[in-house]
Chains A and B, each alone.
Chain A
Amino acid sequence: EDKVVQSPLSLVVHEGDTVTLNCSYEVTNFRSLLWYKQEKKAPTFLFMLTSSGIEKKSGRLSSILDKKELFSILNITATQTGDSAVYLCALGDYNQGGKLIFGQGTELSVKP
């Protein structure tokens, strides 16, 4: 059964800190791994990763995938209070059509 585990479950940092969020997974036939940010309402898309070792970057956020060790990390540098949110990792499996399996999420709180 496909599985996604995120760590830590919650994290409190101060503005300017750098954080690393972890996502490990088990999958039958890997297709893609996605990161989402969820503030008060709907999750919004951050990255989709399909190949090992290729970093995706958007401003202060970056993510990389290791398909050999079955994990991904999401880095946020120079954190701001607006980065406070739940970050969700999701897994796509070739055998599961277009479905995504989500992890529990990491709740990040950035203090001024």
Chain B
Amino acid sequence: NAGVTQTPKFQVLKTGQSMTLQCAQDMNHNSMYWYRQDPGMGLRLIYYSASEGTTDKGEVPNGYNVSRLNKREFSLRLESAAPSQTSVYFCASSLLQGNPGELFFGEGSRLTVL
């Protein structure tokens, strides 16, 4: 059972470079989310997709874009990386559209921007 799979697990970028974090879930969930986690800050929502074809901003969307490619996949793009985007990124999914129940998380992607 793969659950939620994120790639890459680690990435080092230079300021100004771009990259895309990929996320896929195989649980037929409707909603998907991207969070970032920084020391002492808990998890902060970047963007979410309540259902295929929709995306919405979370608490900290600046500097990021997302694409809900299909029901399984939700990608997060950094167009011009900045040191402030150094963080651990988590993708998550949930079954019920619009219902904040249990989230299933991926293993995380550690991004360092130099």
Residues of A that sit less than 8 Å from B by CB = 4, 6, 9, 31-32, 34, 41-45, 48, 88, 90, 92-93, 96-105
Q: Is the Cβ of A98 less than 8 Å from the Cβ of B42? A: no
Q: Is the interface of B mostly helix, strand, loop or mixed?
A: loop
Report Cα–Cα, A34/B103, bound state, in Å.
10
Q: Is the Cβ of A31 less than 8 Å from the Cβ of B100? A: yes
Q: Which 5 A-B pairs have the closest CB atoms?
A: A92-B100, A42-B105, A102-B43, A102-B42, A104-B42
Given A42-B90, A42-B108, the answer on whether A100 and B44 have CB atoms closer than 8 Å is no
Q: Is the Cβ of A42 less than 8 Å from the Cβ of B101? A: no
Inside 8 A of A45's CB, which chain B residues have their CB?
Answer: 102-104
Specify the chain B residue showing the minimal Cβ separation from A33.
B100
Q: Is the Cβ of A99 less than 8 Å from the Cβ of B45? A: yes
B50 at the interface (CB under 8 A from A): yes
Report Cα–Cα, A97/B99, bound state, in Å.
6
Closest beta carbon of chain B to A40's beta carbon, Å: 9
Q: Mark B4-22, 1 if CB is under 8 A from A, else 0.
A: 1000000000000000000
Please indicate which of the listed interface residues B56, B105, B107 has the most CB atoms of chain A within 10 Å of its own CB.
B105
Given A102-B44, A103-B42, the answer on whether A43 and B105 have CB atoms closer than 8 Å is yes
Report Cα–Cα, A91/B107, bound state, in Å.
22
Please indicate which of the listed interface residues B42, B102, B106 has the most CB atoms of chain A within 10 Å of its own CB.
B42
Q: Give me 18 A-to-B residue pairs in the complex whose CB atoms sit less than 8 angstroms apart, sorted by A's number.
A: A9-B40, A31-B99, A32-B101, A34-B100, A41-B107, A41-B108, A42-B90, A42-B106, A45-B103, A92-B99, A97-B100, A98-B50, A98-B99, A98-B100, A98-B101, A99-B58, A104-B40, A105-B42
